[in-house]
Amino acid sequence: MNFQPEQLYDIAKTVSVNAYAPYSKFKVGAALLTEDGRVYSGVNIENSSYGATICAERTAFVKAISEGEKHFTAIAVYAEGEEAIPCGICRQFMYEFAPELMIITGKTREEINVRSLNELLPVGFSLKGEDR
């Protein structure tokens, strides 16, 4: 896998300012790397109806998939002052498309952690769709 975790982390940090988080004030950015080196960004977007809120990770995946991408290698997730670990819904969502995905997180650029999705979701659920 050819990626620089710091580069993806920087992109996630840059886009996090675009998050819409008027309720939690917890702005999250994500940068998703495809197998061919393209990067898709995403932010969390909250809603008055909390169930309609979407996390940054899923936003990045939805953007990439809607553009025809299906093969992903890594995602960086950033939130100011915190290590933003993907939530359970995001872990399962990402597993659908990239069970071998690498997850880049960290409180700061100097404290980056790289984990596999399998570490965060050891027994992901899949119906083994044919489109992957």
Q: Which of 6, 35, 57, 130 is catalytic?
A: 57
Q: What is the pTM for the complete model shown?
A: 0.93
pLDDT in tens, 25-67: 999 999 999 999 999 999 999 999 999 999 999 999 999 999 9
Is 130's pLDDT higher than 60?
Answer: no
User: Of 125 and 15, which is predicted with more confidence?
Assistant: 15
Torsion of CA 76, 80, 85, 91, to 10 degrees: -60
Is 3's pLDDT higher than 70?
Answer: no
- For the question of residue 57 being annotated catalytic, the response is yes
Is 131's pLDDT higher than 60?
Answer: no
Q: How confident is the model at residue 107, as a pLDDT? A: 95
pLDDT band for 127, please (50, 70, 90 cuts).
Answer: confident
Q: How confident is the model at residue 1, as a pLDDT? A: 47
Q: How confident is the model at residue 128, as a pLDDT? A: 74
- Give the separation between CA 55 and CA 89, rounded to whole angstroms: 9
Residue found by looking up tokens 């997730």 in the block: 77
- Give the separation between CA 131 and CA 104, rounded to whole angstroms: 26
SS3 per residue for the chain: CCCCHHHHHHHHHHHHHHCECCCCCCCEEEEEEECCCCEEEEECECCCCHHHCECHHHHHHHHHHHCCCCCEEEEEEEECCECCCCCHHHHHHHHHHCCCCEEEEECCHHHEEEEEHHHHCCCCCCCCCCCC
pLDDT in tens, 75-112: 999 999 899 999 999 999 999 999 999 999 999 999 99
